[in-house]
Structure 1
Amino acid sequence: MPQYRDNLNVLRRAFPQPVSDQEHDAWFVFSVLRALDRVDAMKSQRPILGEPQEIDFSKATAACVPDEMSTVELVSRNLVDHLAGMFIWGHPRSQVNVINPPCIPGILGTLLPAIYNPNLCSEEASRGVALAEAEAISMTARLMGYDPDSSGGIFTFGGTGTLLYAIRLGIEKAVPGAMQNGILGNMPVVVCSDQAHYANKTAASWLGLGANSVVKIPTAPNNEIRTCLLESELRRLLKEGRRIACIVATMGTTDAFGLDHLEKIRELRDELVHEFSLHYVPHLHADAVIGWAWSVFRDYDFALNPLQFPDRTLRALAGANRRIRQLHFADSIGVDYHKTGFAPYVSSAFFVKDARDLKMLTRDQSTTPYLFQSGDYNPGKFTLETSRSGCGPMSALGALQLLGKSGLRTLLGHLVTMAETLRNRLTAQPAISVMNPENFGPVTLFRVYPDDVDTFEMPKLEQTDARYAAQLHRFNDYNRQVFQAMHAEALRGDGVVISMTDRFRETDYGQPVVALKSYIMSPFSDEQYVQAVVDSVERARKQVAGVFK
């Protein structure tokens, strides 16, 4: 027998069998369980897997494809080893920037398509997995207030992908024919708040508009766009003959869960279209990749409060609901199930209020003669991607079916309760100032100061008085040092894993304000772990006190 046939027989055991084979199927399941057992053995009481690891990228870049074949067992062991030192996002002492722990059905939604590898380019290549995309899109559209019979949507590669689709649609509306002919004349602009995600500039850059075509509007202290300034800027742009491709409303900012007034923005947009007799309607997109999940409270009885949330939590949830319930005013919405839907990465979707909008992106059928020969569901005709994994839709569907409205309400309510508890504990510390005390979400921003600083007055002076710029920069550095001390402790498997932002907002005189950030996303969070944040900060302050000048 030729050598390659011997190799082939060995390799066939490394693949799931295409027909039922009880012995091999059992071995496949055992291989998965063995890998999971090894991962489980790496768990402890600490928020990391295994022991802390020094990351050596020089060794990684020297890696080569081996000459000889290996075995499933050896490769499995190597893959598990790569998880050593990884933070466990579901651990209550992991409070890093809006990373949710995936639920078990969400994980299965990633595993099952990985075995059978559907391609959601077309119905033919995905069959029932295409139904999962349609189901998840319809369920979420209805949840957010869209009519699932007239709206549409597709899964994409992340929150940046949702913005890319939104701005691309806006370009086509403002410059009809741009898909074929490119953009002629003045570049259209994208308008958003100064707290909007940097992905707006990323998308504008990649679409050829350029980052400088993104116009930023100042926000109020609660991180909501100032609609009066938005109106004046839109008027200026239109008087100058600029085309407005897209207005992006931020529905849950990453740093401070700021929520724009979408209904007012929609009214303003419509008034200006009429006043300036525009031949197009600027596209209005809701960047709700974080905030979308609060749509489960659209029909919650806040007066009866059947889940018995604490009073302060109830007020925070109601505060978020009064903005999130406006999502249906947007022409399109971005959703990340991997942020607040408890699904694994990557699970993101782009929704349009009018499904016909997606036809603007349709490519010429003659360019794909080998595709779309059967079936009615062929999103690859208009999606940016041709290779479309089924993992995102299946994991989102699994999470939605498991949690339902009640489960999502329970989880979000608990996370907000824990964040409220943390803010109360931090506020009680004389050396700490909470920067978002009235926040509605699970994120807490705070600044830490040395012992001799008046934390009641200093944050106000830093924000408003340019004469305190030197102190602002000095305490920015102090907070960076506190964060580094806390992060080093976390990498050792101790303390709490939190984040830091170099600019949660700017001062009135244009300088960045650094803040430490706790983003509680674990369903296992409890008051004892909230106190662990306070204790970790205090240890870091004592460590920094010896070196800070």
Structure 2
Amino acid sequence: MAPVSQVLQQAADLFKGMPNWNHPLVMANVIPPANTAAIVAAMMTQVFSPNIIEGEYAWDVERTEMETSAILADLIGWDTNKAGGLFTFGGSGCYFYGIKYALTSCLGMDSRCNGIRTDAKVLVSQQGHYCKMNSTDWTGLGMENFIDIDTDETNAMDFEHLESVVRELHAAGTPIAAIVCTMGTTDAFAVDPIEEIRKLVDELYPLENHPDGVGRPLIYADAVIGWSWLTFKGYEFEANPLGFAPKVLADIEKNYNAISKVVHADAIGCDFHKTGWSTYNCSVVMVRDLHRFQELLSRPGSAYLQARTCYNPGLYTLEVSRSGSYSMAAWATLKFMGYNGFRSILGGILELQHYLRDQVIKNEPTVVCVNEEDSGFVTLFRVYQKFGFKAPSFEDGFLTNLIFIQYLL
């Protein structure tokens, strides 16, 4: 045994040398500083351990999951009385839920009881997140059953290629479990043409022919990066009350218009720990029809967990025990920041981005911006040595490459 003070000192020592993600000189991959409200709200759950397995174990903390989901559904444009969400372990967890929901929806309940016996396909762009392999693997579908769709010069999904693949699979009678649309890639902030994809699915798989959804592809939107642009819903772009610079305002409106098409999805993944400035980790998967999701994924309860309250997600979630820290952090973030908090931060990032590109990159002949047309959060640039310098040594070259890689990340 050891005294608490000694244990805590040893614990503090483990953080020595760790990067401080809040420091302005740290260039990290989508790890923002967490806001104070989220930090404190999440810490409360470490003391009282609310478990959102069902209402009795979570008590009123369960409201944070339901209220946050309703706020997001409203931002998306879904019916808040029908849509819902579940907090889970990161963007990969959201993706996993989306693929499982898609498989059960497309292949029917028998796939849950007797296993997946059909080589259904998951279609995703070449720029899609690598967790496409995790999800197809862990659901038992198999990593060979996702199909990469070509991307265009903007890094978005090539709709012509997608359409040809979908029509070919449809003609062959091969089930398409899901079409995954990336709504804002990490670097290029590419947004896949989800509206056109919805029209294609509705044309080839009309609802009247698939009233129970069996055989119909589900559209999952991987919006873990792009979702927060939805907070510009209702913003008066002409009046521009927050005073964004004209070129920044144009990028903001472009981003919002692109991400707002996420309304056409059946399920959506959102990360608060990325573009929500919340504690790590904090992710929610949203579904357009929560009742259908519950029906498809429900399972018999245990002998000691009865439905004693009206909220019992433990009957259909992947996790049984689920910490309330995720939903508490997200709920506190939304309450604390509101519309204008998100808008100010998102627009402020673009203001700084344009400053970097205009004042540093364009005025420095050895620096080249390689994604000048992108309107997202990331500026990718390359640094070259000035012509006429002596040839670098091996050590110099190694250092230059390290710096270059860090800039790209």
TM, length-normalised to structure 2: 0.92
1:17-66 deviation digits (Å, cap 9, x = unpaired): xxxxxxxxxxxxxxxxxxxxxxxxxxxxxxxxxxxxxxxxxxxxxxxxxx
Greater relative contact order structure (CA < 8 Å, 6+ sep):
2
Equivalent residues in 2 for 1:155-170 (5 A)? 155-170=87-102
Name which of structure 1's ranges 248-257 and 114-123 shifts more when overlaid on structure 2. 248-257
Letter in 2 for 1:433: V
How many angstroms apart in 2 are the aligned matches of 1:154 and 1:162?
Answer: 9
How many angstroms apart in 2 are the aligned matches of 1:112 and 1:479?
Answer: 49
* Match of residue 20 from structure 2: 88
Contact preservation (8 Å) 2:105, 2:296? no
SS at match of 2:372: coil
1:407 to 341, 349, 371: 341
How many angstroms apart in 2 are the aligned matches of 1:422 and 1:221?
Answer: 24
* Match of residue 368 from structure 2: 433
1:313 paired to 2:248:
yes
Contact preservation (8 Å) 2:183, 2:190? yes
1:193 paired to 2:111:
no
1:390 paired to 2:324:
yes
Contact preservation (8 Å) 1:225, 1:261? yes
Contact preservation (8 Å) 2:271, 2:282? yes
* Match of residue 179 from structure 1: 112
Does the C-alpha gap of structure 1 residues 308 and 480 become closer, same or farther in structure 2, counting only changes over 3 Å?
farther
Does the C-alpha gap of structure 1 residues 378 and 274 become closer, same or farther in structure 2, counting only changes over 3 Å?
closer
How many angstroms apart in 2 are the aligned matches of 1:479 and 1:412?
Answer: 36
* Match of residue 202 from structure 2: 270
Equivalent residues in 2 for 1:6-85 (5 A)? 69-85=1-17
Contact preservation (8 Å) 1:197, 1:254? no
How many angstroms apart in 1 are the aligned matches of 2:171 and 2:362?
Answer: 47
Contact preservation (8 Å) 1:169, 1:360? no
Does the C-alpha gap of structure 1 residues 479 and 241 become closer, same or farther in structure 2, counting only changes over 3 Å?
farther
1:150-178 deviation digits (Å, cap 9, x = unpaired): 10111011100111111111111221121
Does the C-alpha gap of structure 1 residues 299 and 275 become closer, same or farther in structure 2, counting only changes over 3 Å?
closer
1:144 to 62, 65, 76: 76
Deviation, structure 1 residue 434: 1.6
1:391-413 deviation digits (Å, cap 9, x = unpaired): 00001111111100000000000
Contact preservation (8 Å) 1:87, 1:94? yes
Deviation, structure 1 residue 90: 1.8
Deviation, structure 1 residue 428: 3.3
Deviation, structure 1 residue 452: 4.8
How many angstroms apart in 1 are the aligned matches of 2:199 and 2:208?
Answer: 14
Letter in 1 for 2:308: S
1:132 paired to 2:67:
no
1:75-106 deviation digits (Å, cap 9, x = unpaired): 11111111111222222222311111100010
Does the C-alpha gap of structure 1 residues 370 and 318 become closer, same or farther in structure 2, counting only changes over 3 Å?
same
* Match of residue 465 from structure 1: none
* Match of residue 353 from structure 1: 288
Deviation, structure 1 residue 481: 5.1
How many angstroms apart in 1 are the aligned matches of 2:254 and 2:297?
Answer: 39
TM, length-normalised to structure 1: 0.69
1:209-242 deviation digits (Å, cap 9, x = unpaired): 2222111111122211111111011112222322
How many angstroms apart in 1 are the aligned matches of 2:403 and 2:117?
Answer: 52
How many angstroms apart in 1 are the aligned matches of 2:297 and 2:208?
Answer: 30
* Match of residue 417 from structure 1: 351
Does the C-alpha gap of structure 1 residues 180 and 408 become closer, same or farther in structure 2, counting only changes over 3 Å?
same
Does the C-alpha gap of structure 1 residues 193 and 480 become closer, same or farther in structure 2, counting only changes over 3 Å?
farther
In structure 1, runs of 5+ residues without a counterpart are 1-68, 454-477, 488-497, 500-515, 518-549
* Match of residue 221 from structure 2: 286
* Match of residue 392 from structure 2: none
1:486-510 deviation digits (Å, cap 9, x = unpaired): 78xxxxxxxxxx45xxxxxxxxxxx
Contact preservation (8 Å) 2:181, 2:192? yes
* Match of residue 41 from structure 1: none
Deviation, structure 1 residue 274: 4.1
Aligned residues: 397
* Match of residue 271 from structure 2: 336
1:154-205 deviation digits (Å, cap 9, x = unpaired): 10111001111111111112211211111123x1111111111111121111
How many angstroms apart in 2 are the aligned matches of 1:170 and 1:75?
Answer: 46
* Match of residue 235 from structure 2: 300
Deviation, structure 1 residue 485: 4.1
1:114 paired to 2:49:
no
Does the C-alpha gap of structure 1 residues 126 and 275 become closer, same or farther in structure 2, counting only changes over 3 Å?
closer
Does the C-alpha gap of structure 1 residues 275 and 285 become closer, same or farther in structure 2, counting only changes over 3 Å?
closer
Name which of structure 1's ranges 136-145 and 104-113 shifts more when overlaid on structure 2. 136-145
2:187 to 231, 255, 270: 255
In structure 2, runs of 5+ residues without a counterpart are 389-395
Deviation, structure 1 residue 372: 2.7
How many angstroms apart in 1 are the aligned matches of 2:287 and 2:89?
Answer: 17
How many angstroms apart in 2 are the aligned matches of 1:479 and 1:349?
Answer: 43
Does the C-alpha gap of structure 1 residues 236 and 75 become closer, same or farther in structure 2, counting only changes over 3 Å?
same
Letter in 1 for 2:336: L
Contact preservation (8 Å) 2:299, 2:316? no
Does the C-alpha gap of structure 1 residues 372 and 276 become closer, same or farther in structure 2, counting only changes over 3 Å?
closer
Contact preservation (8 Å) 1:117, 1:390? yes
2:402 to 478, 481, 484: 484
How many angstroms apart in 1 are the aligned matches of 2:296 and 2:383?
Answer: 49
How many angstroms apart in 2 are the aligned matches of 1:373 and 1:146?
Answer: 27
Does the C-alpha gap of structure 1 residues 485 and 443 become closer, same or farther in structure 2, counting only changes over 3 Å?
closer
Deviation, structure 1 residue 433: 2.5
Does the C-alpha gap of structure 1 residues 479 and 410 become closer, same or farther in structure 2, counting only changes over 3 Å?
farther
Does the C-alpha gap of structure 1 residues 239 and 448 become closer, same or farther in structure 2, counting only changes over 3 Å?
farther
Letter in 2 for 1:381: L
1:463-494 deviation digits (Å, cap 9, x = unpaired): xxxxxxxxxxxxxxx9985352478xxxxxxx
Contact preservation (8 Å) 1:105, 1:398? yes
SS at match of 1:356: helix
How many angstroms apart in 1 are the aligned matches of 2:169 and 2:175?
Answer: 8
Identity of aligned residues (%): 36
SS at match of 1:125: helix
